[in-house]
Structure 1
Amino acid sequence: MSVYSIKDLEHLSGIKAHTIRIWEQRYELFSPQRTSTNIRYYNDDDLKLILNIATLKNHGYKISKIVAMPPQLREQEVRKIGEEDQTYEDQMSVLTLAMIDLDEEAFSLALEKTIEHAGFENTMIRIIYPFMRKIGILWLTNSINPAQEHFISHLVRQKVIAATDKLQINESGPLFLLFLPEGELHELGLLFANFLLRKRGAKTVFFGQTVPLEALEEVYHKLNPEYILTAMTTKPETGEVQKYITRLGKRFQECEILITGNRIVGQPLDIPKNIRIMNQFEDLLAYTPQLAV
């Protein structure tokens, strides 16, 4: 079972830690365990409870009424809300609950409902990626089991690939090569970028995970792309990032190189002239206005 700090509960539910502490004292909602240094920590059941409370509060229920409900009634009220139009916060709560329980059916149903209502692209940008960022932070701090993060990533990956497969390839569109550096396995963002570019008329060649620069250079000279797009989430190692992007800039001088990821966004680096940093997906689309629908 995963364990969460009170900040994790705040992060996932949107309810301030100070408020959670007040409720804990006033209503005895939780019975947190304590570490050897007397720091509170919470379990999956506590997280489920705070997510249900957050959903009900977002729909006008007062906390006094929520805590007076028997647990079964509280869950029934949350399910009723789930059958109606949901806010983005509600949808992320549903996805989080599905992740905790490793419930593929619940996750898929919630995702399909949202896609039907908001469209695939909006669902990814407004719900899935904010959700994945939250989960990624918990994964990096060892608050959740890595299996839970992989479970969700795999399901989302399937949806992105399926949506991309439905798009026609525009042979006359500007050519993008998409790859991840050696050792980099976090390809979900790059897969979605591939979808966005193809949807807007670009021709893309997707190489995926852990691609050596020597191999990329060989196909670069064969295909002569206008753009190269990559992401650096965990690789290269922190001390190697500057050296790596310098090599990228020199080896692929005749095209524009677009880079995103934690290893490079907001970092004090010397960026070669033919490299542009992308903070988010909207930056990618703004940089290629000729592709906009």
Structure 2
Amino acid sequence: MGSEEEEEEESGRIVRLGSYGGKVRLLLQPSREEEEEEESNSGVDEAEAAAEETMLLWGLQQPTLSKPNALVSQSSLRFSLDSCGHSLSILQSPSSLATPGVTGSVMWDSGVVLAKFLEHAVDSGTLLLHSKKIVELGSGCGMVGCIAALLGGQVILTDLPDRLRLLRKNVEVNLSHCDLRGSATVMEFIWGDDPDPLLIQPTPDFVLGSDVIYSEGAVVDLLATLQQLCGCGTTIFLAGELRNDAILECFLEAAVKDFVVGRVDQTQWHPDYCSSRVVLYAMVKK
């Protein structure tokens, strides 16, 4: 551990968060005096924390210099990945990318990073998913949710109504003929709508999302949904592509008002599935 990380750990910036046993770097560590300040004054610290984080990511990782989609092939009709002793074959629909706003028809690097992070964290003992209730938002092709189910989670994969056909097909193709430790259910869910009782009763142990921070409008609906889904015992993992620093900063500034947010360093990821174009956050409700 370097001296800078040691200083951050001593100051409380490097911590364990929620049900994740690994260490994360907190974006905002308020003092007791700051917590007692009026809400109108606390926004300055939230904005500064969000700006500092985005500047740090773009300065250190320099995502625009890295190749996009380095871990996936979006032109192929299938994406293959070995995980949990199984060879997954994820069906894709590359032609759907021509439709504006449709991005869940193919795999993205952030989904691969999140899926393999979960597997690596379980294998290393920093995460326990067996028998845990897991809700995945914006499941897309379904790879993350499938791997979470293979790791023993009771997973509900959700997406918009027009995305469910491909999602259901991938769950069936990859999980119906294997010795599944967990379970996988596909459900329609539109962010911002009242969640189905099955999603919140009981509250999830984990909420997962990859590439879900993509516009300011989506940020508002995503955070409203996280507020609805999550209880005090819920741990959130969100992985995202570093494309637009303004949108990420908008999300972080809003998120730290109601959630404790920590960035999972790449040293905690699966060593073979890292990308400087991807960031991974762990979050818990304040």
TM-score exceeds 0.5: no
Q: Which has the higher contact order (CA 8 A, sep 6+)?
A: 2
**Larger proportion of helix:** 1
Higher strand fraction (1 or 2): 2
TM-score class, shorter-chain normalisation, is: 0.3 to 0.5
TM-score by length of 2: 0.34
Q: Normalising by the residue count of structure 1, what TM-score does the alignment of the two structures yield?
A: 0.33
Greater Cα radius of gyration, structure 1 or 2: 1
